[in-house]
Amino acid sequence: MNVLGLNDPKLGEVVVSEQELQSRISQLGKELEADYADRPPLLVGVLKGAFMFMTDLARAVGLPVELDFMAVASYGSATKTSGIVRMVKDLDLDISGRHVVVVEDIVDSGLTLSFLKRNLLSREPASLEVCALLVKEGLQKAKLDLKYVGFKIPPTFVVGYGLDVDEKYRNLPMICTYKA
């Protein structure tokens, strides 16, 4: 296949197209708008993978949201999480008493999100929900209470729309499988 002019043999099929992404994100934006109409939320994007989702989602919510970012890193190989997560960049804002929505790119084992939720809940937000663009089917060990989910996808490694391998493929406008 030929994506962005690249004839890259490592890219496989399209799992979520650009059009499917945009239409689902606009629905998610409307859901958030209805649920948070009386209490505009603070959107917390998890870098780097969620940067593209965050910018599209924020524009789809017709409320005066605020944005902040944090970055975590998990030890492991390029295509597998180890479950050991550390904070690389903390939030700039104080979230105590705030209505927080964590904006995540993809939930695989759920270990990263468990770490993030524990960390953020200890700061006593008024509420904390998660909006994950992609959730891999059947892999989560702990119950995660994902209130907003874009797409459930099969448990294969994917790239694009923020998701990388060694910092590449983040700017693909769609989600594709990747052949390691």
Q: What gap in Å lies between CA 64 and CA 159, rounded to an integer?
A: 31
Q: Is 38 a catalytic residue?
A: no
Select 79 or 96, whichever has its Cβ closest to ligand 5GP: 79
Name 5's Cβ contacts closer than 8 Å, sequence gap at least 6. none
The pair of structure tokens assigned to 101 is 């929505």
Query: Got the DSSP string for 40-52?
Result: PPEEEEEETTTHH
Interacting residue with ligand 5GP among 29, 41, 110, 125 (CB under 6 A): 110
Instruction: Give the nearer residue to ligand 5GP in terms of CB position, either 67 or 71.
Output: 71
For position 81 contacting ligand 5GP by CB under 6 A, the verdict is yes
C-alpha 130, offset from chain centre? 9
- Asked if residue 109 binds ligand 5GP (CB under 6 A), the reply is yes
Catalytic annotation, pick one of 108, 145, 164, 166: 108
Residue 150 lies near ligand 5GP (rule: CB under 6 A)? no
Shortest Å, Cβ 18 to ligand 5GP: 17
Backbone angles phi, psi at 39, to 5 degrees: -155, 75
Closest approach, Cβ 37 to ligand 5GP, in A, equals: 29
